[in-house]
């Protein structure tokens, strides 16, 4: 298992380097610049600004400097947020997005996995049909529809929960955003768990275990559960990265000061370092989540460790 993990970890380095390189040159070579929209800016002032941020150097030099700073964990200064670094901006917003995402993920797993297991065990029952009736619209309904509906129903009509705001992360302000973010993930988790268990229950070794007189609970928990979770584990890598890095729609609907807004702000204002910082952080989180999924897959299915 250790050799398998090391191979996966080593493979992340060239992937991350390729991501950073491609993003850096695509952003820098695109038309326009971070100071093109400044009003009444003189050419001399613009040249001084570019020199201050190192934009007057050759592109290869800028790239080498960025990699050197990145190796030290320095994402650089923001071009639009004066006197603030990208590290400071992400440090203020990313923990909020990550806390919401983690809560949404835990809710989705704690509810979705048992629902999927029960639906598979009681295939064709009323519970199975109810789960199918819930998951279909939950997957299809976008967050920019579900979020306002929840805010209107529970915030403005019933006054049970705040319709928007954050207030330092108070629990009552997080309930509706977490439910909005968790709903499609929960639906996918339930569907994948149900489908995985149904596939495993039809295998020969499960029939043999039942023929030996083993109880249904032992068959499922000991023999069927681990291989049944393999499709879910494969899907969880990018899904976890999505919920942990935040949703721009959810954060906008509920007025949450998370990190999702920085990517759009940086792209619209051509803030090179802010966009690069978001891409690097998102890339690292995505690769780390995929690594976790690979390791979990290797633990669940020892046959793939030698590949």
DSSP string, 117-144: HHHHHTTTSHHHHHHHHHHHHHHHS-HH
Residue among 109, 150, 137 at smallest CA distance from 249: 150
Going by the DSSP 8-state scheme, the letter that residue 83 receives in this structure is T
Q: Name the pTM for this structure.
A: 0.81
Q: What's the rounded mean pLDDT across residues 26-30? A: 84
Q: Residue 40: which pLDDT band, with cuts at 50, 70 and 90?
A: low
Is the confidence at residue 296, as pLDDT, over 80?
Answer: no
Closest CA to 246 of 237, 232, 235, 257: 257
Provide the pLDDT for residue 36: 65
**% residues pLDDT > 70 (the chain):** 92
Residue 78 has pLDDT above 90, yes or no: no
**302: pLDDT strictly greater than 70:** no
Q: What is the pLDDT of residues 237-275, one digit of tens each?
A: 778 877 776 577 888 889 888 887 787 778 777 888 888
Instruction: Tell me the CA distances in angstroms from 9 to 1, 16, 126, one per residue in order.
Output: 12, 11, 45
Give the start-end residues of each E strand in 41-81. Answer: none
pLDDT digits (tens, 9 = 90+) for 93-109: 888 888 888 899 999 99
Contact 100, 178 (CB under 8 A): yes
Q: What is d(CA 113, CA 91) in angstroms, rounded to the nearest whole number?
A: 32
> Between residues 206 and 77, which one has the greater pLDDT?
77
Q: Which two tokens stand for residue 202?
A: 């039809």
> If DSSP codes are grouped into helix, strand and coil, which group holds residue 4?
helix
Q: Above 60 in pLDDT, residue 23?
A: yes
Cα distances (Å, whole numbers) of residue 166 to 13, 146, 161, 172, 252: 37, 19, 12, 9, 12
Query: What tokens were used for 101?
Result: 């995402």
Q: Which CATH architecture has domain 93-256?
A: Orthogonal Bundle (1.10)
For the chain, what is the mean pLDDT?
A: 84
- Per DSSP, the three-state class of 85 is strand
d(CA 261, CA 101): 15
Average pLDDT over residues 153-167: 89
Given a contact cutoff of 8 angstroms between Cβ atoms, the answer to whether 286 and 240 are in contact is: no
Structure tokens at 251: 């954060």
Average pLDDT for residues 150-161, to the nearest whole number? 91
How many Å apart are CA 36 and CA 33, to the nearest integer?
A: 5
> Any bridge partners for residue 77, and if so which?
85
| Residue 270 φ then ψ, to 5° | 55, 40
Domain boundaries, the chain: 93-256
């Amino acid at each position: 298992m250790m050799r398998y993990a090391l191979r996966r970890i080593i493979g992340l380095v060239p992937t991350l380097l390729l991501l950073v390189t491609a993003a850096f040159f695509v952003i820098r070579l695109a038309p326009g610049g971070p100071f093109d929209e400044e009003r009444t800016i003189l050419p001399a002032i613009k040249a001084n600004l570019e020199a201050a941020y190192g934009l007057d150097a050759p592109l290869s030099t800028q790239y080498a400097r960025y990699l050197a700073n990145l190796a030290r964990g320095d994402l650089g200064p923001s071009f639009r947020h004066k006197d603030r670094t990208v590290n400071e901006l992400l440090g203020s917003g990313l923990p909020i997005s990550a806390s919401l995402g983690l809560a949404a993920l835990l809710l989705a797993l704690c509810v979705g996995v048992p629902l999927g297991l029960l639906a598979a065990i009681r295939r064709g029952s009323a519970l199975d049909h109810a789960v199918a009736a819930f998951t279909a619209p939950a997957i299809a309904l976008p967050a920019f529809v579900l979020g306002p509906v929840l805010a209107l129903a529970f915030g403005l009509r019933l006054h049970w929960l705040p319709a928007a705001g954050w207030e330092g992360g108070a629990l009552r302000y997080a309930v509706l955003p977490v439910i909005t973010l968790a709903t499609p993930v929960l639906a996918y988790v339930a569907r994948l768990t149900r489908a995985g268990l149904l596939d495993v229950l039809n295998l020969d070794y499960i029939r043999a275990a039942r023929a030996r007189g083993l109880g249904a609970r032992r068959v499922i928990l000991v023999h069927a559960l681990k291989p049944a979770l393999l499709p879910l584990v494969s899907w969880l890598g990018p899904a976890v990265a999505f919920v942990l890095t935040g949703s721009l729609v959810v954060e906008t609907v509920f007025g949450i000061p998370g990190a999702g807004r920085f990517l759009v702000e940086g792209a619209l204002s051509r803030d090179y370092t802010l966009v690069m910082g978001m891409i690097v952080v998102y890339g690292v989180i995505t690769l780390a989540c995929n690594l976790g999924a690979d390791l979990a897959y290797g633990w669940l299915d020892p046959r793939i460790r030698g590949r």
